Chains A and B, each alone.
Chain A
Amino acid sequence: MTTYLLLTVFFGYLAGAVLYFLSFELQSEALYRPAKLVVFGSILFHGALLPSSFIQNPHFSITTLAEYLEVVSFLMIAISFAVEWRAKTRFLLLFSLPIVLVFCFLAVLLAHQKQPAALMTHLPGWLWIHTGLILSGFTSLIVSVSSALMYLLQSAQLKSKHPGPAFLKLPSLDTLDRLHFVSLSAGVVLFSLGIASGFIWARQMKEFLEILKDPKVSLSFLTCLMYWTILSFRLSALRRGQKIAMGTVFIFIFLFITLLSSIYAPSGFHRGF
């Protein structure tokens, strides 16, 4: 049942993405409003789906990768929607929606995962903090990659000297740089705190050495290090603009691989999650 409902959400977002794309490409202001409405409706439906899933299976809602992706995609689309609405970054959703669609699709595919382990259904305090921080950090980093993609597109339009239809629709480079910087900073800090809280829990459980063998942990650590490098470049103002935006996109690909690593990893604490 949940799979079909999730599929409905997926198609809602897909319809929104198509309308957004048409509005962007055809320069049609008339399609922008319906696109927003379709996405908003899908967000509401998606939001209602999360508590209903909890009622159906009363355990912590992100104990499998499918559930994790379902929650992340919801948080991401809701935050992108709010940012687009409040920060006047029109068409941010056009760049967030493809990532959300991939996440939703994976959530549908992985919906038949095994039942969560007993440990995860009765989550200890530190792990609540760990998953909460990682979730929020991940969501923020997705917003940063969306704004980085918009920055690169707008910058390419300006450099080409033949600005196309995208030029008029996209916000200014300054706006995108600000959004990118804020979301990147928030994402990196939250993500790092999430990793730190995971380590603290592992120490308490005397599993510290065990979790270091987990490929997802080592990859997350590496990703975090790359994010801090790029953020320090931006903070020290040694680099900004195109190069930082490209860096964000590159590291996000790495982050995505990290997320999926637990499915294919032969062993590890995060296996299947």
Chain B
Amino acid sequence: MEITVLGLNHKTAPLEIRERLSIPKHKAADILKRLEAERIFDERVLLSTCNRTELYGVGRNNQESVVRAKKFLSDYSNIDLADFENNLYVFKQPDSVEHLFSVASGLDSMVLGETEILGQVKDAYLEAHKIRQTGKVLNTLFQRSLKVAKNLRTHTDIGAGKVSVASVAVELAEKIFENLRNARVMIIGTGEMAGQVGKAMVSKGAKSMIVSHRHLDRAEGLAQALGGEALSYEAYEGRIKETDILITSTLAPFVLIQERQARAWMRARHEKPLFIIDIAVPRNVDAAIEKLDNVYLYNVDDLKNIADQNLALRKSQLEECFRLIHAQTQHFMGWLSKERFV
């Protein structure tokens, strides 16, 4: 009995191939049953996300199963095998085991250390388990992979911090305000980045979105997309008192918000904390504002620096993560030989 993985991912295949070979969640059960009917592996789990499609199998004659699985994928995607065979990888144990542990831990993801993949691995396993496609080996392997991923998060900094500008902004906001559901966001300007940051805040429950811009029609478009309210530029100062997070992203070639203005706002707000994110270049907010008590001002470079620092921290953990994964792989292989599957 041997564990094999056949698949492709964002590192080995371009998007055009990945999207053709992607298997939607609702089709996974059907595909697994067809693989069973064609006697491709004795146990099997299909993992398909936007960045990877992988088939984990256990069998006695895996070489033949792999050949048949490749043909199956070619038929499924309507692409000649020759057009994507070079994008495929095949790992045999113990590499296949180590690969699954790395995938579940987010070490093989496009965004290093992301956690979404853990849920996807779990769902893929449960789907296969539900329709009796897994046996003792894959059950143990996938359950172990979930434990390894959680262990890595506990013992290393692989999941520390956020690594995109929008998520860093949300993380900072969550460290200022107890709950973003009670926070109100105002966006001045309709830049793409401001929209992304605003969307990230709204996804965390930011109560209402007030979008203000010199062109009210554009503001209305963004407000609608974010489920908020549009305001004219002249009206925004009147609403500052109720704003907790202010995002500026206009093309104005001068400073829109002066220090004395912010000082007056803070008095009106009874010194309630104000988080200002200045995404505009040139900057819309006077840098002297950051010296005011209870005002937290970040510009796009500040956010990017934090994202880069977090990514560097995650990368620095890779060696330790692979060491832990290697040890866990050895441990699993020990179990496999003890159970006489090897």
Contacts and interface: CB of A to CB of B under 8 A. Distances in A.
Contacts of A163: 172, 175, 306
A77 to B, nearest CB: 25
A237 B270 contact: yes
Contact of A168 (B153, B161, B178, B296): B161
Interface in B172-227: 172, 174-179
B271 A175 contact: no
Contacts of B130: none
Interface string B282-313: 00000000100110101000100110010000
A154 B175 contact: yes
A242 B293 contact: yes
B177 to A, nearest CB: 5
B154 interface: yes
Interface size class of B (residues with CB under 8 A): 20 to 34
A242 B177 contact: no
Given A161-B298, A240-B272, A27 B157 contact: yes
Contact of B177 (A29, A168, A172, A237): A172
A161 B153 CA distance: 25
Given A30-B155, A237-B270, A239-B271, A159 B178 contact: no
Interface in A173-215: 173-175, 178
A72 to B, nearest CB: 30
Interface size class of A (residues with CB under 8 A): 20 to 34
B107 to A, nearest CB: 18
Contacts of A132: none
B177 A174 contact: yes
B306 A172 contact: no
Nearest to A236: B270
Contacts of A159: 290, 296
B271 A167 contact: no
Contacts, number: 61
B94 interface: no
Contact of A158 (B154, B270, B296): B296
Given A29-B154, A242-B294, A172 B305 contact: no
Contacts of B179: 174
Contacts of A168: 160-161
B273 interface: yes
B212 to A, nearest CB: 25
B175 A158 contact: yes
B81 to A, nearest CB: 46
Interface in A218-260: 237-243
B277 to A, nearest CB: 12
A165 to B, nearest CB: 9
A126 to B, nearest CB: 40
A172 B178 contact: yes
A162 interface: yes
A161 B302 CA distance: 7
Contacts of A170: 175
A28 B293 CA distance: 32
A172 B179 CA distance: 9
Contacts of A29: 153-155
Nearest to A154: B175
A241 B293 contact: yes
Given A242-B294, A243-B293, A162 B176 contact: no
A225 B309 CA distance: 46
Given A30-B154, A168-B160, A241-B273, A174 B293 contact: no
B305 A162 contact: yes
Nearest to B178: A174
Contact of B273 (A28, A161, A173, A243): A173
Interface in B235-255: none
A237 B296 CA distance: 19
Contacts of B174: 172
Contacts of B160: 27, 168
21 contacts: A30-B154, A159-B296, A161-B298, A161-B302, A162-B305, A162-B309, A163-B175, A163-B306, A168-B160, A168-B161, A172-B174, A172-B176, A172-B177, A173-B175, A173-B273, A174-B177, A174-B273, A237-B271, A238-B270, A239-B271, A241-B271
Given A174-B178, A241-B271, 4 more contacts: A29-B155, A30-B155, A158-B172, A173-B177
